[in-house]
Structure 1
Amino acid sequence: MPKAFRTLVVVLAACLLSVTTAIVPGPAHAAPSLPDDFLWGVAASGFQTEGTSPDSNWRRYAKQAAAPGSPFRDGIGTSVDFRHRYRQDIGLARSMGMKVYRVSIEWARLEPRPGRDDAREWAYYEDMVQAIVDAGMRPMLTLDHWVYPGWIADRGGWADARTPEAWLRHQRRVVDRFARHHPLWITVNEPTAYLMKEVQHGGLPPQLAPVMLDRLVGVHRTIYDHIHRRDPGAMVSSNAAYIPTVQPALDQTFLDRVRDKLDFVGFDYYYSVSPTELGAAQILADRSWEAPVSADGLYYAYRDYAQRFPGKPLYVIETGMPTRDGAPRPDGYRRADHLRDLVYWTQRARADGIDVMGLNYWSLTDNYEWGSYTPRFGLYTVNVLTDPSLRRIPTAAVAAYRRIAADNGVGPHYRPSRPATRCSLVAAPSSCTRPVR
């Protein structure tokens, strides 16, 4: 990542020199509705929502990261207790008119010891996936959302040469079990972010970063073929964490190496950068709610991937906006407005001929955000640390998303609540020199 940020600085300097002559976006245009087959969804991961977590690399990391005075000795505790409340949450997604519900199938639950299954946890996932199907939604199943069993951690995690085969042995069984539901598949969640978190928390020596990436590429390619043997019409991808300006360089480490094993390009879009909005560094300081989230940047991410992966449909696997413990953001941006703005720019991308097939909001409920319950991304607020009942409290974005799903967009008369960025650096330099009209 340091190299990536150096690249960002260079591009930023170039754009600062050209910003005075860059074309300034004109008034916003109407955005036609999206087609009836557009996939509206919500997303979550098992470890972040399930609670009562078994031993894993991330249960160990969470314990290390637990704040003094935390009510949870293991750092995560109940989370939002999706493990026992999944039917309730699936019902909430159904009530909004969602078509896709993204979850992860947690290896640490299913194989707590080498070669030893937990039959109760297999039954849980069977029932949970069936509940999604019965609710009229399509499951999107993530095979690896950064979590592996404690016994894999004891052997060295992705630094150990045995991990890829153990991973494949287990994930083939997951695919065999759930392929009949014809889910959308995500093999590895945000591979480069996965790598960085492993290094950050001591799960991987920094010098072995290229080894882990090679192994993630290898397991993706192999499990892709296995999924297609079980379900020839399957749609399989990974999801890149879109980092403004430097994403093409980051994609050389994973996405470019598996482009022949992608049925669509999945990516996650959260934060933006411009010459006057440099707050993205707040993410590194664990103050994500202060990072800029200009929605028009999503358009440039679409355009970037459409140009670099021609012929591949695009799917936003995650997008959303953090607040600090549910309080108003310092920039005043509200969740419902941000959601509508993201959808507007998605409609504009489709109108401009970019093949966008779906969008998932992260997340249905607040959850454990990899070290803290402070960042809130939920359509539904859940006060994990202060409310033992874990009540799901709807934000204004719930009604907004319900209307969006019913209308397949924000309507032809909608205009973004915020103007487009004057010189966006999301896909610089073109996002600055060729702004969307």
Structure 2
Amino acid sequence: MELNFPPHFLWGSATAAYQVEGNNSNSDFWAEEHAEGSPYKDKSGDAINHYGLYREDIALMASLGLKAYRFSIEWSRIEPEPGVFSYSAIEHYRGVLETCHQSGITPIVAMHHFSSPKWLMRLGGWASPEIPNRFARYCEFVFQELGHLIPYALTMNEVNLPVMLRDIFSRIGFIPPVGIEREAWSAPKWRESAAELCGTTIDKYFTFHMISDEESIKLLKETHQKARKAIKQMSPNTKVGLSMALSDIQSIHGGEELAKAKWHSYFEQYLPAIEEDDFFGLQNYTREVYGPGGQLKPAEGAELTQMGYEYYPEALGNVIRKVAKYLPISIIITEHGVATENDERRVEFIRRGLEGVQACLEEGIDVRGYFHWSTFDNFEWQSGYALTFGLIGVDRSTQERQVKDSARYLGRIAQTSSLITN
């Protein structure tokens, strides 16, 4: 059976600057890696040197048949000190964008993917009342220079993840998609060291992943709205949105109210901030099932990913349907993937996930694209280099790229905009 997708559907894969570029030494995450007692399993170092090898990497994506690329711009490169903007960094990202267009690749740019400049921590980080204007000014500068090359932009990646992390860390035995361990997140000593490396103290050290209280969420919403306005002023034709990490929230008898509350905290509370957005970036990896006593562990014998959560590609279609009930705007799947060494399971994950997307399209839901996480095996935050999400492997001793069958599989789908299911 062949499932056909719309002719202009965006087919691609995604990366984050900090995870692939290497040597983002002016970032708060660099400070966390190098802090005394840091829980990070590895140092990012050169990462996969995408900063130096982007031309070859984008050519490889195009040769595989992929049609789009979602990547992020590193704020700490563009604005290494408050109000000081780097034109050499702008020229680098201009090169990335121009290479995409020359290769027939549509770029989607995230202006923030977790990592922030060290100097922001000196101002109080993401709890600072200055953050909305600071971030908007950064966006304004980038789009003044590069807006004509950026058809789609995410202001921020996974704005709701801090709330998910807060909830997850209150339970034992569940590892969140971003790969941060509960014990490490709450340990104070290494955070004090990280704050010192950022030139500040622990009371001002407030990273993006800590935005989970009412006041900081309010600031986050304002930051998104001001950034969207700044982008539109500089580049009216750029379509702007944000992305959220959304598990498929399910319940058994007695868990309905808990599930409803989780969905509100993960999704509904952010809706006022995106009322004027052009599209919604949906990101999904698994499901969460709630009973009367809270979240249930996966059933005995259930297949688990390297991250420790359930292998459940059907979650994607379910979440699309839930989100579509609230939104009058189009949906782009900006992340969907699985951490596994077994690439056959990745191919299966893509296939079953896309069957769900196709069913949603047949129901009339406006889905415009699918981006797999991730393009490469890369630096997975505190988990280091052990986890393999990539369509393309990397030998980090040589930086040689190793194309997996899953990359070819998604590339064939992108070429024909159709999915063979049997």
Question: TM-score band, normalised by the shorter chain?
Answer: 0.7 to 0.9
Superposed displacement of residue 99, structure 1: 2.1
**CA shift digits 1:44-65 (9 cap, x unpaired):** 1101100011222111122247
Cα distance per residue 1:321-350 (max 9 Å; x no partner): 002xx3x39xxx611121122122211211
Kept in 2, the 8 Å contact 1:31–1:351? The answer is no
Summarize deviations over 1:88-116 as a string: whole Å, max 9, x none. 11112111222221111111011212222
Structure 2 contact 241–274 (Cα < 8 Å) conserved: no
- 1:15-414 aligned at under 5 Å gives the runs 32-64=3-35, 75-194=43-162, 200=185, 202=191, 203-204=205-206, 209-245=213-249, 246-254=262-270, 256-273=271-288, 278-279=296-297, 288-309=306-327, 311-323=328-340, 326=341, 328=342, 334-371=345-382, 372-384=384-396, 388-411=397-420, 414=421
The secondary structure found in structure 2 opposite 1:77 is coil
Partner AA of 2:44 in structure 1:
I
8 Å contact 2:164–2:266 — kept in the other structure? no
* In structure 2, distance between residues paired with 1:364 and 1:78: 17
| Structure 2 letter corresponding to 1:48 | Q
Q: Give the distance between the partners of 2:82 and 2:142, measured in 1 at CA.
A: 16
Do the aligned residues in 2 keep the contact of 1:271 with 1:280 (CA within 8 Å)?
no
Return the alpha-carbon distance in structure 1 between the equivalents of residues 149 and 162 of structure 2: 27
Query: Percent of aligned pairs with the same residue?
Result: 25
SS at match of 1:345: helix
Q: SS in structure 1 opposite 2:242? A: strand
Using the TM superposition, give the Cα deviation of residue 196 of structure 1 relative to its aligned residue in structure 2, in angstroms.
Answer: 6.5
Alpha-carbon separation, structure 2, partners of 1:266 and 1:47 = 20
1:409 Cα deviation after fit? 2.3
> Cα–Cα, structure 1 residues 230 and 85, in superposed 2: closer, same or farther, change >3 Å?
same
Aligned-partner Cα distance in 2 for 1:239–1:31:
30
Instruction: Give per-residue Cα distances to partners, 1:389-433, cap 9 Å, x unaligned.
Output: 12111111012112111221213xx15xxxxxxxxxxxxxxxxxx
- Indicate if the aligned counterparts of 1:132 and 1:139 stay in contact, CA closer than 8 A: yes
SS at match of 1:172: helix
Deviation for aligned residue 1:204: 2.7
Query: Shift of residue 359 of structure 1?
Result: 0.6
**In 1, distance between residues paired with 2:321 and 2:81?**
45
Following the alignment from structure 1 to structure 2, what is the Cα–Cα distance between the partners of residues 148 and 397?
A: 32
Deviations 1:127-166 (CA, angstroms, capped at 9, x unpaired): 1111111111121111111111111112221122222222
Letter in 2 for 1:250: Y
8 A Cα contact 2:376 2:389, kept in partner? yes
Paired residue type of 1:120: S
Contact 2:121–2:206 (CA<8 Å) still a contact in 1? no
Q: Structure 1 residues 302, 149: CA separation in 2 closer, same or farther (over 3 Å shift)?
A: same
Alpha carbons of 1:278 and 1:377: their partners in 2 closer, same or farther (altered >3 Å)? farther
One-letter amino acid matched to 2:317: Y
Residue correspondences, number: 365
Gaps (5+ residues) in structure 1? Answer: 1-29, 416-437
What TM-score, normalized to structure 2? 0.79
Instruction: Write out per-residue CA displacement over residues 40-87 of structure 1, whole angstroms, 9 at most, x where no aligned residue.
Output: 01111101100011222111122247569x7x6xx2101111110101
Q: Is the 8 A contact 1:31 1:347 kept in 2?
A: no
Q: Give 3-state SS (helix, strand or coil) of 1:176's partner.
A: helix
How far apart are 1:183 and its partner, in Å?
A: 2.0
Match of 1:427 in 2: none
Cα deviation 1:346-386 (Å, max 9, x = unaligned)? 112111221111010111101111112111100011243xx
1:417-428 superposed matches below 5 A = none
Partner of 1:25: none
Q: Structure 1 residues 243, 345: CA separation in 2 closer, same or farther (over 3 Å shift)? A: closer
Equivalent position amino acid for 2:307 in 1: W
Q: Secondary structure at the match of 2:281?
A: strand
Q: Secondary structure at the match of 1:308?
A: coil
Match of residue 198 from structure 2: none
- For structure 2, the 5+ residue unaligned runs are 170-184, 192-204, 250-261
Q: Distance in 2 between matches of 1:211 and 1:407?
A: 47
CA shift, 1:119, in A, is: 3.0
User: Which amino acid in structure 2 is aligned with residue 118 of structure 1?
Assistant: S
Partner of 1:23: none
